[in-house]
Amino acid sequence: MHPYIDRRNRLLASIAGDVAILPAARPVARNGDSEYEFRQNSTFYYLTGFDEPDAVLVLAPEHPRHRSVLFLRTRDRAMEIWNGKRLGVERAVEHLGVDAAYPLSELDERLPEFLCGARTLYYDIGADDARDRHVLAARANAEALTRRRGRTVSTIASPATVVDPMRLIKSPEEIATMRSAARITGRGHEAAMRATRPSLYEYQIEAILEFEYRYGGARSTAYESIVAGGENATILHYSTNRERLLDGTLLLVDSGCEMDNYASDVTRTWPVNGRFSAEQRAIYDIVLAANEAGIAQVQPGRSQRAFHEAAVRTITEGLIDIGLLAGSLDENIERERYRDYYMHGSGHWLGLDVHDAGRYRDDEDRPIPLQPGMVTTVEPGIYVHADLNCDERFKGIGVRLEDNVLVTQDGNENLTEAIPKRIDAIEAIVGSTPCASVS
């Protein structure tokens, strides 16, 4: 079956007696007559596969005929000549498998009919003021219609509570798309490694990454690429990418493409001149061991907490070994002294969003157990900020290694395994074929 019909049917079954209103994204103005590149709302896309703006999906399990209804833009020859083709109301039922389709302009008039008799309305209130006014007006109208029957919408709840648990477990189709996002991201990182040499600018490496993504069929990056030379690697969300790469420093690249709206999120760190110094190698070896120890914990029944603890333990041990921390392993972990060097979590869900839908802890504050079909990043790092009071030789070194890992029935599959990560593989590829067009 059409995967989107299957997802809608599963959601309809889980909201019996209720109703959901799920809007598409709207275009966002950039400046005079120009818009930011359109990116569909992830949940709307998950349930429809429809990539146009200005649409609303209504799921009404109790409706006698139309349980799954799409409001969308009508066909309009003049607008289509300027801005491109539209699916249109007439074709929506057949193409998208919804029960009915109406022009978006009829939403106000038709919505009350779908809300009558529903207890909970799943709608993301507060995300869009203009849309909220229409939905609340429809709710008031539905109340007037149903007063005599005594049942009306009593609660508005976030659709995330019902959709996010579905989005957390990826289907085989989604995993296939994420594999292709991982493959194209790998091409970008490898091309960037091959081209790297001292005196290039960070933005030139960014251009190489993004050329490969676009050339491979991705419409954009999944988030702003971090291309951080030298000390910039110790700024966690550095993304200005304007500085020159200096001989003897490391380059940290955190970048992934978005393929058919699915993200990849990969970090590799390599020496600008192709050879790790002794200090860089010492830090890199610890982060690599933490990355591998974390990935080994990605198994059904374990949790994000298990792999964070494995990464923290490995990093703390390593920092003690090289003299950046003093004292016992347990004491450094208990007092969280490692946080001077490793101050972020070890991973997050990955899917349609780079920080994907899904909870990390349940209502009792227990970590959510990993299950087959979940995809998580594993991304430990060590950042020796220049203002720390520590051994000067390590200052300014920042290393992170981030992979995208699928939980399988009997363990895991690292979707980004093929992207060079071991020191010998990195040293063999960096600078091997400088990109001819950059001088």
Note if 254 is an active site residue.
yes
Q: Which of 191, 225, 220 is nearest to 434 (CA)?
A: 191
In the complex, what is the shortest distance from the CB of residue 59 to ligand GLY, in angstroms, rounded to a whole number?
A: 31
Note if 379 is an active site residue.
yes
Phi, psi angles (nearest 5°) of residue 161: -65, -30
Which string of x and - marks every residue 226-265 that binds Mn ion (by CB under 5 A)?
----------------------------x----------x
Distance CA 417, CA 367 (A): 26
Interacting partner of 190 out of ligand GLY, Mn ion, none (Cβ under 5 to 8 A depending on kind): none
With beta carbons less than 8 A apart as the criterion, state whether 290 and 341 touch. no
Active-site residue among 2, 10, 133, 355? Answer: 355
210: which residues sit within 8 A by CB, 6+ positions away?
Answer: 188, 221, 225
Note if 2 is an active site residue.
no
Distance CA 216, CA 181 (A): 9
Note if 237 is an active site residue.
yes
Should residue 201 be labelled a site residue for ligand GLY when binding is judged by CB under 6 A?
Answer: no
Should residue 210 be labelled a site residue for ligand GLY when binding is judged by CB under 6 A?
Answer: no
Note if 339 is an active site residue.
no
Active-site residue among 129, 148, 237, 410? Answer: 237
Within 212-251, the residues that bind ligand GLY by CB under 6 A are: 223
Please give the single-letter amino acid code of residue 131. R
Collapsed DSSP state (helix, strand, coil) of residue 100: strand
Interacting partner of 223 out of Mn ion, ligand GLY, none (Cβ under 5 to 8 A depending on kind): ligand GLY
Note if 402 is an active site residue.
yes
Which string of x and - marks every residue 382-411 that binds Mn ion (by CB under 5 A)?
--------------------x---------
Active-site residue among 344, 359, 385, 393? Answer: 344
Within 345-374, the residues that bind ligand GLY by CB under 6 A are: 348, 354
With beta carbons less than 8 A apart as the criterion, state whether 43 and 145 touch. no
Active-site residue among 63, 179, 189, 348? Answer: 348
- Count Cα atoms within 13 angstroms, Cβ side, for 358: 27
Tell me which of 52, 124, 254, 260 binds ligand GLY, using CB under 6 A.
Answer: 254
Note if 265 is an active site residue.
yes
Within 376-395, the residues that bind ligand GLY by CB under 6 A are: 379
- 428-438 in b/e burial notation, b at 16+ Cβ within 10 A? ebbbeeebeee
Distance CA 320, CA 333 (A): 11
Sign of the C-alpha dihedral computed for residues 52, 53, 54 and 55 taken in this order: positive
Should residue 52 be labelled a site residue for Mn ion when binding is judged by CB under 5 A?
Answer: no
Collapsed DSSP state (helix, strand, coil) of residue 356: coil
Please report, as ranges, the residues that interact with ligand GLY according to CB under 6 A: 223, 254, 265, 348, 354, 379, 402
Residues taking part in catalysis: 33, 237, 254, 265, 344, 348, 355, 379, 383, 400, 402
